[in-house]
Chain A
């Protein structure tokens, strides 16, 4: 099987999840190649070899400077018109999900998304996809080529195998509509704010908190437990709490000993950022919230009643 892995990069570094997918592809056997798109990325290409890529296709073009999806669809179409691959693999991110989905439409090629594993069974590629809040696992396949696969973030760990890759430059042909959107400001890592990645205890709050003023409740509980405060994307996007505290697919990945989720429904995007926590306690008023599927202790109830009481009890216990 011949695999192409879409490798993302940010500020001069290859993105960890895409290296993980590269390592996974290498473990499946066959030919593993990578594609790297951007401006000033030639230097980075060889790096992918260490994680299992035998060849890295590179288009170093100023039109690919900003992390916008549509020019990347053009680039992949250009490459795939010239080279036959059995499968094209993407590690899910804000950027690559858009690239993969648009490429599926461009090529009329099947895309399976949110995969948590890939296997070759009887010579056929099979994707494993959890569905319905991870309560059932679906084996998915493709009826067209190339097979497009989007892997859930944080699924595969990169493994340095120490190989080296040939670098194969190519030149993309762009469509006008693909260049119509422009990036006015580009995100870069914010370093201010406390780091939640090292905390042993995290108390995280979601939209169920009701408003920014109620963060006092979780701050008090975090203080009593000797932990840090985290937030969900919805809360951060709404401006209730700083981005540096966000847990989930587009935020931090944490694995504290104890994770207390307050008013968090626990969608997949959040789960991938905290599922490896030692103990998960969830408080939510919606008994159908997905977080109850994977919380060690789930409490259906009103956080405004429970959290202050819990804070008091923990304080009393610690003072004793």
Chain B
């Protein structure tokens, strides 16, 4: 059983985020981290692998320095990383990103491809369906409970109307919700061992993807302008120094909410 987990290197959530007015892309120059939603997918892959033979491969598209953040997945127990690091892939939209990731995944040909619920920088929650389409594999998304039996994955997932249960034969693509598990923390031994695990950086050429098929050249959407958000009413943010409850009551009285 070979499981590929698609993971993204995102700006650290504690850092102030901005869009570079020149490139109109998210400024990714600061500290980065493994997308927290992908940690649930890594955890799920490790659980599925436990008690059987198998391999968990992290597949990512990002700058070379992403490796350091992605190693957290290795420290948790994943076996290796394949990172598509190529300047020509920067600024890829859904069409271009899915093409590059699908090419990297095809090279691995895993039994199961897992995604996290969304990237916390783009909030897209759309990539898995595009990748499943390119791989021509069945898809189950938003999965809160996953099981595997006799070559079929079964996912329970929430929709607007309650819970669906969907079966898909392997090889398949599954996107998991962040409620599916409580990810483990890497052990000290895991962290020490992570650096020694295989970490491969590949280029678009290695994957047979032309530079014109990736990045902005391979994208089909454009950013036309950046605008300020519509104004909103006064908001107040306080740190609790022991009197926050009093302030809330005062506020509710001011606004005649109680």
Contacts and interface: CB of A to CB of B under 8 A. Distances in A.
A95 B157 CA distance: 11
A173 to B, nearest CB: 15
A137 B227 contact: yes
B17 interface: yes
A299 B125 contact: no
A188 B162 contact: yes
A297 B225 contact: no
B145 to A, nearest CB: 9
Interface residues of B, number: 84
Nearest to B213: A108
A70 B98 contact: no
A136 B144 contact: no
B221 A142 contact: yes
A126 B158 contact: no
Interface in B1-59: 13-14, 17-19, 24, 26
Given A110-B95, A267-B123, A298-B238, A143 B13 contact: no
A281 B130 CA distance: 38
Contact of A108 (B95, B141, B161, B245): B95
Contact of A69 (B129, B220, B233): B129
Interface in A69-86: 69-70, 73
A101 interface: yes
A317 B225 contact: no
A299 B247 contact: yes
B130 A105 contact: yes
Contact of B161 (A134, A189, A257, A302): A189
A306 B245 contact: yes
Nearest to B170: A180
Interface in A168-198: 175, 177, 180-190
A6 interface: no
A58 interface: no
A113 B251 contact: no
Given A138-B226, A313-B249, A175 B140 contact: no
Nearest to B237: A298
A297 B130 contact: no
A288 B159 CA distance: 28
Report, as a range, how many residues of chain A touch the other chain. Answer: 35 or more
A97 interface: yes
A237 B177 contact: yes
Interface string B234-257: 111111100011111101110101
A301 interface: yes
A190 B162 contact: yes
Contacts of A292: 235, 237
Interface of B: 13-14, 17-19, 24, 26, 93-95, 98-99, 123-134, 136-142, 144, 154, 157-169, 172, 177-180, 219-230, 232-240, 244-249, 251-253, 255, 257-258
25 contacts: A11-B161, A69-B129, A93-B159, A94-B142, A94-B159, A94-B160, A95-B159, A98-B129, A100-B126, A105-B129, A110-B221, A134-B229, A140-B223, A141-B223, A143-B222, A180-B172, A181-B139, A184-B165, A187-B161, A294-B232, A295-B237, A297-B237, A297-B251, A317-B249, A317-B258
